[in-house]
Structure 1
Amino acid sequence: MMGCDDTVDSWDPILDDTTFYKVFGGDREDYGFSVDVTKDGGYILAGFSTTYGNGSWDVWIVKTDSKGNGEWHRTFGTNGKEVAFQINEMADGGYVILGEHGVSGKAGDILFIQTDKEGYHQNQVTYGGTANDGGRQIISTSDGGYAIIGYTYSYGGGGRD
């Protein structure tokens, strides 16, 4: 787990019989929502940071080794609010990130980001209608695409679908 707020930023996984505790983040809000085990035995974490990036909520990913030592971190964002809720390593070693993008005074959209194996931005797409929409989980499909699950206020029977 990455973060809370103030200076309480942490990740505390328990794997087999091994426990380790690592702190990631700065002096502002930094939260983690997703973790995936990487092919090299390390971990990739995703959430958002207000410490790093543009100073607002920016997608924040952290790559660690198998002992939780930080190898690199990246942020993606604008002056709006970007949050990652899911990250997965892809077959090529890059990463796919799913979350939400919002700009003050406007409805939010599903945010889809692809990176290379070093976490550098490769592609970004937003999906949504006139109201708030958000992505929560993503999986790769057998045809090389992705299936996304989330919520929508823009489509469906009204309210949050």
Structure 2
Amino acid sequence: MNRLIISLLFLLSNVVFSQELNIDAVWTETFGNATGDEGNAVQQTTDGGFIIVGLTRPYEGDNMPRLWLIKTDSIGTEEWTYFYDESGSSVGYSFQQTTDGGYIAVGTHSNNALLVKVNSQGTEEWSQTRNGT
């Protein structure tokens, strides 16, 4: 299936010191389109929302993947999206929220290590690549 389905399933569980686990989905959300977008990691943010990192192919006819960050509120409504817009393919694998409320994403760009810093609104502050050989 070439469609990104980042279905964020946030679960409520009630464990009563036994092997039984009751799980109910609170909400689900889908992001992306039919171009093979992917989500590789998700984490709750300090404001109660969520951030997702992966890859997107944002331009019609351009099959090059781009590192992709999506920030949502606590119920999955998209607040902003960011993609690394340099020539060549890039993929996001992990990220960390920074003390200033922004995010650092780690991935690859054209077979090199990629580090991208965005602010709390998803605007790129800086990026660096390191030779992967």
Q: Same fold by TM (over 0.5)? A: yes
Aligned counterpart, 2:109: 101
Structure 1 runs of 4+ off > 6 angstroms?
Answer: none
Unaligned runs of 5+ in 2: 14-23
Q: What is the CA distance between 1:11 and its match in structure 2?
A: 2.0
2:117 to 114, 134, 141: 114
* CA–CA separation in structure 2 for the residues paired with 1:86 and 1:60: 11
CA contact (8 A) 2:29 2:76 kept: yes
Backbone CA RMSD of aligned residues: 2.0
Residues 112 and 130 of structure 2 are in contact (CA less than 8 Å); yes or no, is this contact kept in structure 1? yes
TM-score between both structures, scaled by the size of structure 2: 0.81
Task: Measure, in 1, the Cα distance between the counterparts of 2:44 and 2:32.
Answer: 20
Q: What fraction of aligned residue pairs are identical, expressed as a percent?
A: 26
Encode CA deviations 1:18-75: one digit per residue, 9 max, x unaligned: 5221100012111010112111100010100013599321111111111111111111
Partner of 2:50 in structure 1?
A: 43
Displacement of 1:8 after TM fit?
4.4
Instruction: Quote the residue 2:32 is aligned against.
Output: 25
Match of residue 9 from structure 1? 5
In 2, the alpha carbon distance for the partners of 1:8 and 1:88 equals 22
TM-score by length of 1: 0.68
> Would you say how many aligned residue pairs link Structure 1 and Structure 2?
121
CA distance in structure 2 between the aligned counterparts of 1:54 and 1:97, rounded to whole angstroms: 26
Q: Take 1:72 and 1:33, find their aligned partners in 2: how far apart are those partners?
A: 17
Q: 1:60 to 1:37 in 2, by over 3 A?
A: same
Contact 2:4 2:35 in 1 (8 A): no
After superposition, where does 1:139-150 map in structure 2 within 5 Å? none
Distance 2:76 2:112 in 1: 32
Unaligned runs of 5+ in 1: 103-107, 134-153, 155-161
SS at match of 2:46: coil
Task: Flag the 1:83–1:68 CA change in 2: closer, same or farther, 3 A.
Answer: same
* More deviation, 62-71/45-54: 45-54
| Higher-RCO chain (CA-CA 8 Å, sequence separation at least 6) | 2
